[in-house]
Copies of this chain bind each other. A is one copy, B any other.
Amino acid sequence: MSEPVSGTVGVAVVGAGFMGGVHAAVLTEDPRARVRWIVDLDERAGGQLAAQMDARATTRLSEALADDEVRLVVVSTPVTTHHPVALEAIAAGRHVLVEKPLVMRPDHARELVAAAKAKGVLLGFGGNFVHAPKFRRAKELVADRTALGTLHAVRVVYRTSGPDSEWPRNRALAGGGACTDIGWHAIELCSWLLGEPRIEAVTAATQNITGVGDVEEQGVMLLHFEGGAVGQCDVSWLCPGGEQLTVEVLGTEGRVSVDFWQGMGITAFTTNKFAEVWEPNQGWAFPEWEWIRNSGYVQQDRSFVDAIVNGEPLGRAADSAIPIVSALDAVYRSAAEGRKIEIHD
C-alpha cells in the first residue's frame, strides 16, 4: 500500500442533492481527495452542503472551474443537465464523474466519451452496484464456467417505493422515470454480469399507474444480447415493504442469485417501531448497515481517485456507459412503439 498524499485531488461537486451529498461525504473521507466546491443553483442547498464539507459554495460552475486545484468534477444534477455540465467540465480539462444515467441520448454519450478522450481526461459514471462487494463476489462466481456452463439469462428485479424528491417524476429534468432512475442499474448489472456482450435489441413496456408525474413508474425491459442470452429487467417505483434488488444469473449447469437488501442476514421484529431502521421499521424488518460502503459508493469514488493519483486507466470508464445509454434509449422507443427495437451501433 503506497502512502497517500494528502488532499491532492481537489473536487467540485455539482448538484447538492442526495447523491451529491453521498459523493461529497465519500470523497471527504478519502485522505487523497478534498472537496473544494459545491455548485448548485439553489444557494441554500449548496451552502448547507458546503458548510458540512468545509468547502465553498457557488451557483456557477465556471467559478469552481476557475480554481486550479479542482481536478475532479462530480456531476450529480438532474439528468437532462448531465450533458452540458459534463461537456463544460471536460472542456476545462477536468476529470469528470457523472452520476447515472450518464446521459439519455446515445449521440450525447458518444460525444462525451470523444471529448474526454480528446482532452485526455477521465470520464466515469455512477454505477455503484458494480463496485459493491456482494455483486463483485457474484461476478467472480458467474465467471466460473465450469460451475455455470453457458450463461443464457440474467434477471434483475429492482423495486423501490419511489424517489424521495420530486424532480425524478418530471421528464424535463429526469429524462425518464423508473427505467432511467433504477433501470439504469438493472441494465448495467445484466450487461456487466454477462461480460458486456453487445446488446442487439430491446423489447420493453412501461406504465404509469398512479398518474403522478409524467414519467413511467414501472417497466419491463428485455435485453437481447449477442450470442443469444437474454437480460430481463423488472423495475418499479410502486413496491411497498422496503427496497428490493435481486439478481439471478442462469447457466446451463448452474445459477447464482443475489439478494442485495433483504439478504443482509439480520431480521428483526417489534410490536412497536425501530428508531433507526429504514422502512419498514414496524413489525418485521430487515435492517441494513454500512449501506454506503455495501452499495459500492466508497469503492467507486476511491477507484476514481486511484486513477487520478496513480495515472492508471479508470476501471469503469464512460465507454462502458454507451451501450447502456443506447439500450435505455431503445427501451423507451420499444415501450412507445410496442415492438422490439434493434440496436445497430
Chain A interface residues toward B at CB < 8 A: 1, 3-4, 6, 29, 31, 133-134, 136-138, 140-141, 144, 146-150, 152-153, 155, 157, 159, 201, 203, 205, 207, 209-210, 218, 220, 222, 224, 228, 230, 232, 234, 236, 238-242, 250-260, 262-277, 280, 282-285, 287-290, 338-340
Contacts and interface: CB of A to CB of B under 8 A. Distances in A.
Contacts of A271: 149, 240, 253-254
Contacts of A3: 6, 31
A10 B79 CA distance: 50
Given A144-B276, A238-B250, 12 more contacts: A136-B289, A140-B276, A149-B271, A152-B238, A205-B224, A205-B230, A207-B230, A209-B228, A240-B254, A241-B254, A283-B283, A338-B340
25 contacts: A134-B264, A134-B266, A137-B288, A140-B276, A141-B268, A144-B274, A147-B268, A147-B273, A203-B203, A205-B340, A220-B222, A220-B230, A240-B252, A240-B271, A241-B255, A254-B269, A254-B271, A256-B267, A257-B266, A257-B268, A259-B265, A263-B263, A282-B283, A284-B284, A338-B340
Contacts of A205: 203, 222, 224, 230, 340
B252 A236 contact: no
Copies of this protein in the complex: 4
Contacts of A155: 157, 234
Q: Is the interface of A mostly helix, strand, loop or mixed?
A: mixed
- Output the residue of A157, A201, A271 with the most chain B CB within 10 A: A271
A148 B239 CA distance: 11
A337 to B, nearest CB: 8
A25 B88 CA distance: 45
Contacts of A284: 241, 280, 283-285
